[in-house]
Every structure is written in structure tokens, then in C-alpha cells.
């Protein structure tokens, strides 16, 4: 006889489906309880497609079940003791999954295999670097980097500056010292690009000459205005006052050309988009101007003391000349290093664009 466990009724032998509830009958010719597929155990299954090879109860519509879990999958395999509600994917551990994908641990995930196995993205651009030393320690120590060898080479260039060409190399190197400080380098650059150093020095000389020419024109214009109104006129004092203030203002702003040029690395960017005026009116530039005078005062006193001590000895007098060029190169590099530090500090504060660590040291 065929027996329905749900209705607790017996039917004629050979009956497969219960006439009352439609469930599979036991005791029929097919004891598998499936419409299609195989069942090799005593479990109750409501599968339409798939195999059941264990004592599990499965409600899959497609897929295999090889263990004891209770699943509600639409497709996929289950090879462990986990409870699955996936729509697709594999589960190979004791994890509980609520989405498509693979489970590889004792965790519950809601993301699929693409999330679990996400490939790392391309390496991002290197972050800007900041200095970990204060400005005093950095400015005085930075020009002495690499055992002082670059400083000695720069000193020899200044010694030969009467030939003019070595002076261009010296200017170009001082600029690159500031540029290295602006991008956060921990050591001074080397003399390994003589062509670039000469080009940078030539550009700096051109900037200096351009600024000098502009001031000459400005002063000449005021002198001409005074000559026109006459020296006895009451307007002379007004013109002198205005001229003096204007000259000082222009000198102050013009001093910002070097640090902005160090930071941008470009003449075009230095004089575009108001960068020069913006930096000249910032607290960072004011700080640099004050420190420049402080450094100059300290170094002048130190140099005077050393000169007096050397002058009272015969051997010391011989050393005065080479030490003068070493001191000149050192102070120039110190000033550029300080401005580079100031610009790096301004970039760290978000007031200017930072210099990338891999940015070129030369002008463009």
C-alpha cells in the first residue's frame, strides 16, 4: 500500500502522489520523494531539481546538497554544516551567508565573491612630505648635508665667479637646495646636472635683472614727477611719502618671488593666478622675512667673531679668504633652504599647493 505521512491515509498500491494533498507517497514504486533527481536517504525533500545524498532536508530548486544543512538556495553547492540562504555561490566553511558569493570563514557576509576577493587598486600618488625638524635646526643643518661636499663645490664656484659662468651654476644649485626643501627632502641635491643648474641660474639672473629694472623705472618715474611739480611745491612731500610707501611695498612683494618660484618650479605659475600676491600677503611669508633678518644677524655676528679670531693669527689670515667663499655659499644655501621650508610648511597648512616628492628640482 502507498501511505501519505501528511494526511495519515493509505491508498492503492502504485499511487505516487496523494490525491488529498499532492505529497509524495511512501511505499510506492519510487521512494525517493522527488519528481526528478535521486535521493539516497530517508529525508523529506521538496526539491524540483537536484540531488540529496545525506539526511538533510532541502528546499533547493537547483544544486546539490552533500551534507546536513538546511538550505533555501536557488543555485549553488553546500559542502559544510552551514545554513545557507544564498542565491548563488559556494560555502566551504561554517559561515552563515545571506548573499551570493563564497564563505571562507566563520563570519556572516552580505557581499559577494567580488567583494571578498577584491583586487587592490592601482598605487596612489605619493603623499606630500613634511619636515620633522624645526625651522632653525633644518635651515642651519640642511646646507651641510652629504658631508659638506656640495657646499665645498659651491664655494669653489663662487671663488671662480669672476668668470661669470660658475656663478650661474652656483645660483642654480642654491635654487635646487630650496626646491628640495620645499618638496620635503631630507638631504641636499648633488651636483649631477650641470646643464640644468646653468639653466636655472640663468633664469634666476634674468628674474633679478627684471626686478631691478622694474624698480629703476619706478624710481625714475617718481623723480620725474617731483621735477615736474617743482621742489618747492607742497606736493613734493606727498609724492615722497607715496613713493616711499610704494617702493617698500614693491620690495616686500618682490621678495616673495623666490619662495613662490621655489614652490611652483615655474615662472609662468609664479606670476599667474595671483599666487605671488597671495603668498606675499600670507603669515608664512611674513614669518620668513622676520627669520631671514634674524638669521642674517646671527650669522653676521658669528662671522665677525671668527674673522677677528683668525685675524690675530698669521695662519688665520691665510684662511680668511677661502672661509669667506665658504661662508657666502653657506648663507645663500641657508636662505634658500629656509624659504623652501617655509613653503613646505605653508603647503602642510593647506595655504599653497604642495610640492610632490617626485617633482623636478629644476625650473621649467
Contact 113, 89 (CB under 8 A): yes
Q: What is residue 7's predicted lDDT score, i.e. its pLDDT? A: 74
Instruction: Output the CA–CA distances (angstroms, integers) from residue 304 to 205, 297, 311, in the order listed.
Output: 29, 11, 10
Give helix 165-182 / helix 149-159 axis angle, nearest 10°.
150
Instruction: Output the CA–CA distances (angstroms, integers) from residue 267 to 153, 204, 336, in the order listed.
Output: 27, 10, 17
Q: What is residue 12's predicted lDDT score, i.e. its pLDDT? A: 73
Per-residue b/e over 212-243, b at no fewer than 16 CB within 10 Å? eeeeeeeeeebeeebeeeeeeeeeeeebeeeb
Q: Compute the distance between CA of residue 191 and CA of residue 161 in angstroms, rounded to an integer.
A: 17
User: Given a cut of 60, is residue 326 above it in pLDDT?
Assistant: yes
Grid cell, residue 305, equals 667673531
Residue 356 class from Cβ within 10 Å (0-12 exposed, 13-18 middle, 19+ buried)?
middle
Contact 228, 239 (CB under 8 A): no
**pLDDT level of residue 99 (50, 70, 90 thresholds):** very low
Grid cell, residue 112, equals 559577494
User: Given a cut of 80, is residue 302 above it in pLDDT?
Assistant: yes
Grid cell, residue 196, equals 640644468
Beta-bridge partner residues of 84: 71, 97
Listing DSSP states for 147-177 in one string gives GGHHHHHHHHHHHTGGGSHHHHHHHHHHHHH
Residue pLDDT, tens place only, 109-149: 333 333 333 333 333 447 889 999 999 999 999 999 999 99
Q: Compute the distance between CA of residue 338 and CA of residue 180 in angstroms, rounded to an integer.
A: 11
Q: What is residue 231's predicted lDDT score, i.e. its pLDDT? A: 64
Per-residue b/e over 336-349, b at no fewer than 16 CB within 10 Å? bbbbbbbbbbbbee
**pLDDT level of residue 1 (50, 70, 90 thresholds):** low
Grid cell, residue 12, equals 492503492
DSSP 112: -
Beta-bridge partner residues of 64: 51, 77
In sign, the C-alpha dihedral spanning 45, 49, 55, 58 is negative
Residue pLDDT, tens place only, 38-86: 333 433 334 333 333 334 333 333 333 334 333 343 333 333 443 334 4
In sign, the C-alpha dihedral spanning 263, 360, 335, 170 is negative
Contacts of residue 314, defined as CB under 8 A and 6 or more positions apart, other chains included, come to none
Q: What is residue 364's predicted lDDT score, i.e. its pLDDT? A: 83
In a 13 Å sphere around the CA of 363, the CA atoms on its Cβ side amount to 28
294 vs 215, which has greater pLDDT? 294
Q: Compute the distance between CA of residue 90 and CA of residue 125 in angstroms, rounded to an integer.
A: 37
User: Which of 131, 123, 124, 189 lies closest to 354 in space, CA to CA?
Assistant: 131
Contacts of residue 42, defined as CB under 8 A and 6 or more positions apart, other chains included, come to 55
Beta-bridge partner residues of 26: 3
User: Given a cut of 80, is residue 323 above it in pLDDT?
Assistant: yes
Contact 95, 111 (CB under 8 A): no
Grid cell, residue 47, equals 526539491
Contact 31, 44 (CB under 8 A): no
Give the gyration radius of the chain's Cα atoms: 42
Q: Which helix (H) or strand (E) holds 348?
A: helix 314-348
If one counts every other C-beta atom within 10 angstroms of the C-beta of residue 150, the result is 22
pTM: predicted TM-score of the whole model, two decimal places: 0.64
Amino acid at each position: 500500500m502507498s501511505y501519505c505521512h501528511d494526511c495519515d491515509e493509505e491508498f492503492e498500491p502504485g499511487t505516487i502522489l496523494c490525491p488529498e494533498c499532492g505529497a509524495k507517497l511512501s511505499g510506492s514504486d519510487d521512494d525517493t520523494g522527488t519528481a526528478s533527481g535521486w535521493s539516497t536517504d530517508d529525508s523529506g525533500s521538496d526539491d524540483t531539481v537536484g540531488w540529496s545524498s545525506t539526511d538533510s532536508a532541502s528546499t533547493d530548486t537547483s544544486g546539490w546538497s552533500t551534507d546536513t544543512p538546511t538550505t533555501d538556495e536557488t543555485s549553488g553547492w553546500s559542502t559544510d554544516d552551514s545554513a545557507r540562504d544564498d542565491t548563488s555561490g559556494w560555502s566551504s566553511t561554517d559561515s552563515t551567508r545571506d548573499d551570493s558569493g563564497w564563505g571562507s570563514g566563520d563570519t556572516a557576509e552580505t557581499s559577494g565573491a567580488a567583494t571578498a576577493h577584491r583586487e587592490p587598486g592601482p598605487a596612489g600618488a605619493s603623499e606630500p612630505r613634511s619636515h620633522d625638524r624645526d625651522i632653525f635646526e633644518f635651515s642651519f643643518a640642511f646646507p651641510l648635508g652629504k658631508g659638506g661636499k656640495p657646499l665645498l663645490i659651491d664655494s669653489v664656484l663662487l671663488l671662480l665667479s669672476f668668470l661669470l659662468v660658475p656663478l650661474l651654476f652656483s645660483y642654480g644649485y642654491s635654487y635646487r637646495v630650496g626646491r628640495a626643501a620645499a618638496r620635503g627632502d631630507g638631504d641636499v641635491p648633488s651636483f649631477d646636472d650641470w646643464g640644468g643648474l646653468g639653466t636655472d641660474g640663468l633664469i634666476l639672473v634674468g628674474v633679478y635683472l627684471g626686478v631691478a629694472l622694474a624698480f629703476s623705472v619706478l624710481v625714475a618715474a617718481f623723480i620725474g614727477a617731483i621735477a615736474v611739480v617743482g621742489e618747492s611745491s607742497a606736493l613734493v612731500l606727498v609724492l615722497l611719502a607715496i613713493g616711499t610707501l610704494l617702493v617698500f611695498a614693491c620690495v616686500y612683494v618682490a621678495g616673495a618671488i623666490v619662495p613662490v618660484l621655489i614652490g611652483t618650479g615655474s615662472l609662468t605659475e609664479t606670476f599667474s593666478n595671483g599666487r605671488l600676491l597671495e603668498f606675499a600677503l600670507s603669515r608664512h611669508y611674513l614669518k620668513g622675512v622676520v627669520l631671514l633678518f634674524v638669521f642674517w644677524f646671527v650669522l653676521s655676528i658669528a662671522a665677525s667673531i671668527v674673522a677677528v679670531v683668525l685675524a690675530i693669527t698669521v695662519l688665520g689670515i691665510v684662511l680668511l679668504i677661502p672661509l669667506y667663499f665658504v661662508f657666502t655659499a653657506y648663507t645663500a644655501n641657508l636662505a634658500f633652504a629656509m624659504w623652501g621650508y617655509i613653503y613646505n610648511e605653508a603647503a602642510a597648512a593647506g595655504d599653497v599647493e604642495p610640492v610632490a616628492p617626485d617633482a623636478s628640482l629644476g625650473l621649467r
